[in-house]
Structures are given as structure tokens and as C-alpha cells.
Amino acid sequence: MENRILVSVAILLVSSYFACAAYTDCGSQDGSIVDIQITNCPASSRRCTLKRNTNATMVINFTPSTPSTSLKAVVHGLIMGVPVPFDLPNPDGCKDSGLSCPLTPGTTYKYTTTMPISTSYPRITLDIKWELVDSDQKDVICAQIPARIA
């Protein structure tokens, strides 16, 4: 009985830490998004709050529809509709992200990354456009995530 209670508490803690983020598909060409999870982003929230001077971990579960030997993360902040490039510490989607390339069509993969939210970022409301680009320069997935930097 005690073990069941501990497991239930652990599940509640994990589900509040990783919750499905609100997102829209913005043009996935060579794959489909299964779901997206971002630390401290409750499913009930319309916009993820990213706190400065912290790290946010994001998990994207996706299924490619074509084979790919490489995967690159391309990220933009959409500020008043204008895309502003965001440099990632590791844009190689096949390295340090939990993935192993080549990707096989029809298989569901889990891409994990941690984003530093710098204190130099302005406090702003924006949308984050996150693309995973394949070896043919097509979006395997494209997600637009409403966010606020606080």
C-alpha cells in the first residue's frame, strides 16, 4: 500500500513538472508531432512562462515520414510576427538529444533539449518557432509555442 502511495505521488510530481505545452503545427513536412512537453508549463496555460536565469527542458515526441541521416534544430522567436533567430548551444538533433540517426520512417522518437533562458533576454511575450530540419532541408516537425519570458 505504501509503495502505491509513493508511486502516485511521484506520478503527480512528474506530471506537474512536465506538462503538455500549448502549441500549433506550423508546417511539418516530413513528419508529425506526437506531443510536446516543457518543464513548468502547465497544460492549462495558454502560454508557457520561461523564467530568466533558468533552464527550460523541452521534449518533442515525433514520427518522421521519410528517412533522414541528420536532424538540425532551427529556432526563432516570433516578435510581432518578425522571426528573430535564436542560437542553440547544440543545434545537432542527432547529438546529445536522445536521438540516434539515421531516423526510420514510422518510428516515434523523443527529442530532448535544454534551453538556457538568459537574464539578458527582455521580458516579452512571443511565440517560439521550433523546427527540426532533415537532411533534405525539410521540416520533419515545425511547432509554434506561445511563450512569455519573465
CATH number of the domain bearing residue 100: 2.60.40.770
Structural domain for 89, as ranges: 19-149
Q: What is the mean pLDDT of residues 70-98?
A: 92
Asked, for residue 87, whether it belongs to a domain, the answer is: yes
pLDDT of residue 20: 55
What's the total number of domains in the chain? Answer: 1
Asked, for residue 4, whether it belongs to a domain, the answer is: no
Asked, for residue 54, whether it belongs to a domain, the answer is: yes
Q: Quick check: 2 pLDDT over 80? A: no
Asked, for residue 25, whether it belongs to a domain, the answer is: yes
* Residue 80 φ/ψ region, left for φ over 0, alpha for ψ in the -120 to 50 degree band, beta for the rest: left
pLDDT 10s digits, 26-56: 999 999 999 999 988 877 778 999 999 999 9
Asked, for residue 9, whether it belongs to a domain, the answer is: no
pLDDT of residue 22: 82
Asked, for residue 8, whether it belongs to a domain, the answer is: no
Q: Quick check: 64 pLDDT over 90? A: yes
Q: 1 pLDDT band (50/70/90 cuts)?
A: very low
pTM: 0.82
Q: 74 pLDDT band (50/70/90 cuts)?
A: very high
C-alpha cell at 100: 540516434
Query: What separation in angstroms does the CA of 120 have from each of 4, 22, 51, 149, 150?
Result: 44, 25, 12, 11, 11
Q: 108 pLDDT band (50/70/90 cuts)?
A: very high
Instruction: Quote the DSSP letter at residue 43.
Output: T
What gap in Å lies between CA 37 and CA 60, rounded to an integer?
7
Asked, for residue 6, whether it belongs to a domain, the answer is: no
Asked, for residue 24, whether it belongs to a domain, the answer is: yes
Q: 10 pLDDT band (50/70/90 cuts)?
A: very low
pLDDT of residue 15: 36
Q: 19 pLDDT band (50/70/90 cuts)?
A: very low
